Structure 1
Amino acid sequence: MILMTYFCFVFFWFRGCLGLSLMEIIVGESLGDIDIQKMVMNFGYKLTEHEVVSETGNILVLHKIRAKRKNLRNGSYTPSVLIQHGLLGASDNWFLRGPDKDLPYLLSDAGYDVWLGNMRGNVYSRRHTTLNPDSSSSYWNFALHEIAYYDLPATIDYILDKSGQESLFFMGHSIGSTIALILCSLRPEYNKKILLHLALAPIAYVAHKPNLYHKFVFASFPFVEQSVQSKNIHEVFPRRKYFSRFIEYFCQDGTYFQKLCLMFIFNFVGEDYEQFNATLIPDFAKYYPAGTSLNMATNLYQMYTTGLFSAMDFGNKTLNMLHYQSDTPPSYNLSNVQHPITLYYSDGDYLVTKDDIDILADKLPNVKDKFKIPYQTFNHLDFMWAINSKKLLYDQLLLLLNKYVES
């Protein structure tokens, strides 16, 4: 009975996120940037919004946080840090718990010039100079390759221009780190613009065996993908209020279904009851997921099922030739990724394991260190939302950044 209820919950979660028609995907009120600006301002900080237009015409939003008090470092040098969210995320995912807990506040208080990116297609970066995301399928024709090759360099160049610096610290979670690896493999000139890359559970080569839940998701994906495509849906997992209300109803404290909510989350990212504040599930659901393209989901599905670190395969030689000038999607040459990288991983992460990190480290020429989170059940979401994330991770990140600045 419990198993049946669990799979029913999974079904309705997918139904709620994917929708049954394009109209269902489009409608629904976004919680938007005004809400997060007010949240940050209530803590005495300032959050400003900046627009970056990439070479492909995508309008990307950057958020910049400023500390409540001017915290000058020794000398006039204020290093810039770019934080990039992971799959289905947005910049506001890093602000949900407040100062002394969330990474941007801590970095800002430490005197860093802190910027947070938003990948195209999410709730903040869902605009284009000529294409309408609500009616143009062409807008959604992107995955990791396009974000890495066109959007990330535009973002980096914008920050460096505003800061007057030649390089910045890059901090990416999950695929937020992946796009930096892809960028520097394809456009090696950007290596010199990354002073240090702090890679938090980066997804690249997937060597580990999937668990039972992942097998279920992977086995179901081709059917779901075909069903979504048949309905002419190109945007998946958008942010909308009715989904957050659905999660609030089922997952709030005191409900029978909260345990199923936790099972659903932990079966996907790793089981960690001690570090996950279940009381905050309804709050997290207001901001996550934040939307992406179906192609992005396909790209990640292919990476996990093939183990290859390559661009999305369109399954058609003509389409691959159109996108990549090759019959097959390109694999990424990590020998080109020359900037210094520190890799972070955890034993409790079901999505990125030590085996995956070891393979990645062997292929990167300038890995400075591999850091295992000193907590056995630390999972993939804990990099953002663990109760003790400051003690277990963020303090170490700050120590490393300070060391680089002072050297």
Structure 2
Amino acid sequence: MKSVFLLVVPLMFALFFTPHIQRNTCRSHFSYFNIFFSNDCYYNPDLDDDILGIIKRHVGVHETHEVQTHDGYLLTLFRIPRQNPKGVIFFQHGLYTDARIWVSQYNESVAFFFWRAGYDVWLGNTRGNYFCKKHVSLNPTEAAFWNFTFHEIGYYDNHASIEYVKRQTSGSKMIYMGHSMGGTSGMVYASTRDKEAADSVKMMIVMAPTTHIHLTCTSVLKYLLFISYNLQEIVSFADPLFRLNRQDAWYVKSATFLATHFPCKKCVLFILHLFAGFSRDDLEPDLINMYIRAHGSEIPFKMVYHYYQTYISDGMFRRYDHGEASNIELYGTKESTPYPLENIKVPVYIVHGENDNIDCPTANEKLYKTLPKNSTVYGKLKIEGFNHLDFLSGHYRNEKVYSKILQLLDDINLKQ
């Protein structure tokens, strides 16, 4: 027995330090079960690198900028500069993630796709995420730091970021592209700061913008919103800092580790489909771990409550409901007021997936019909078979979505 032990331990030690153990990515779902020995698996340095390392590896040039919002949050922006660009494009991420999501598809990342097409690319970050934990007077350990929803992100973060990018690019009007909450906050910005948006933004492209989520949307997410909203006291007791997905929490680290190393990637996809909707396109096997790693940014419970208020009001896109007394003080009415989408002056291009269960097609149709006619001059784009996640890691994302967006932008530039 002792001799067997003496043989096995060195063998395990040697195995641990062989190149096999470094493999973190596979080209097929099944190969993850044999990741250390399958020729279908390999080591991809992007999975263990930070955003600047990823950009440097694939493009070679990058810049980091810091912007202060009017209410004191310090935001980090990343830029992939381009000499004599076709235009400037500003990307805004969705919920639970940050700017990394736009570079999480290796060499075929969305940000690189537009940079190679000739655009000066800027990657935004919103308050509270991995890159934005600073404030002029507040600390992330204080509950006041987390007192915001997508309203503040649209009204303050987007405004500060867009005006900063405009100054850095000699007054250029830019393309705004937001996914999920990035679309929600984009609509907040364009409707509440309509004149500034018209002066700074050439076009707003919102993908699965989650502005009018309602009762007919079938995602499991609505039940989680219901639980979080109706168990506020219990949830708040569990985390007195009023935030979800704390990055330093053991359960978040454990969940990320398990999801990344769990070999049954189809099981992980099944869980994602419960939230995002069934997809015929599906996340590419070699992107799924990058997708998991790109998520994990913290959000306040108040953000969850705001989305839930939209849901229970049958898709009414409105400001945060603070209760009757506070509403009268803030808005002059007993109920919170709808966002003035009719004020939007910027052309808005809505892109949505047929199988999206979070931002379902009927919700997008409601947004489209609410917008003024001068903002819908370019129409909308419906992607068959796409769910909420396919815009980021679906196999045909570039072919079905981003190539068509580029063609639209080129057509617009030719006409102007």
TM-score, scaled relative to structure 1: 0.82
Partner of 1:237: 245
* Contact 1:253/1:279 (8 A) holds in 2: no
Partner of 2:146: 140
Deviation at 1:43, TM superposition (A): 1.6
Matched, 1:205 2:212: yes
Q: Quickly say closer, same or farther: Cα 1:246–1:137, change in 2 above 3 A.
A: closer
Deviation at 1:110, TM superposition (A): 1.5
Deviation at 1:143, TM superposition (A): 0.6
Q: Provide, for residues 231-262 of structure 1, a one-character-per-residue CA deviation record: whole Å limited to 9, x for no partner.
A: 4131212345953553443564634xx44422
C-alpha separation between the residues in 2 aligned to 1:204 and 1:389?
22
Partner of 2:95: 87
Deviation at 1:371, TM superposition (A): 0.7
Residue type matched to 2:344 in 1? V
* Contact 1:244/1:285 (8 A) holds in 2: no
* Contact 1:342/1:369 (8 A) holds in 2: yes
C-alpha separation between the residues in 1 aligned to 2:140 and 2:256?
26
Matched, 1:349 2:356: yes
Match of 1:371, SS state, is strand
Deviation at 1:227, TM superposition (A): 1.7
Residue type matched to 1:226 in 2? E
Match of 2:156, SS state, is helix
Deviation at 1:391, TM superposition (A): 0.7
Matched, 1:116 2:123: yes
C-alpha separation between the residues in 1 aligned to 2:333 and 2:224?
30
* Contact 2:215/2:311 (8 A) holds in 1: no
Partner of 1:405: 413
Residue type matched to 1:125 in 2? C
C-alpha separation between the residues in 2 aligned to 1:287 and 1:400?
28
TM-score, scaled relative to structure 2: 0.80
Q: Report the count of equivalent residues.
A: 363
Residue type matched to 2:51 in 1? I
* Contact 1:247/1:282 (8 A) holds in 2: no
* Contact 2:182/2:209 (8 A) holds in 1: yes
Partner of 1:371: 381
Gaps of 5+ in 2: 1-45
Partner of 2:320: 312
Matched, 1:103 2:110: yes
Partner of 1:329: 336
CA root-mean-square deviation: 2.5
C-alpha separation between the residues in 1 aligned to 2:244 and 2:334?
27
* Contact 2:276/2:357 (8 A) holds in 1: yes
Matched, 1:167 2:173: yes
C-alpha separation between the residues in 1 aligned to 2:178 and 2:67?
19
C-alpha separation between the residues in 2 aligned to 1:275 and 1:185?
34
Match of 1:195, SS state, is strand
Deviation at 1:273, TM superposition (A): 5.8
Pick aligned residue for 1:283 from 280, 290, 302: 290
Deviation at 1:130, TM superposition (A): 0.7
Q: Quickly say closer, same or farther: Cα 1:59–1:390, change in 2 above 3 A.
A: same
C-alpha separation between the residues in 2 aligned to 1:247 and 1:262?
14
Residue type matched to 1:336 in 2? N
Deviation at 1:212, TM superposition (A): 6.7
C-alpha separation between the residues in 1 aligned to 2:61 and 2:246?
26
Partner of 2:163: 157
Pick aligned residue for 1:389 from 385, 392, 397: 397
Partner of 1:125: 132
Q: Quickly say closer, same or farther: Cα 1:239–1:404, change in 2 above 3 A.
A: farther
Matched, 1:249 2:264: no
Match of 2:379, SS state, is strand
Match of 1:38, SS state, is helix
Deviation at 1:270, TM superposition (A): 1.0
C-alpha separation between the residues in 1 aligned to 2:259 and 2:184?
33
Partner of 1:36: 51
Q: Quickly say closer, same or farther: Cα 1:177–1:213, change in 2 above 3 A.
A: closer
Within-5 A mapping of 1:218-229 = 218-229=225-236
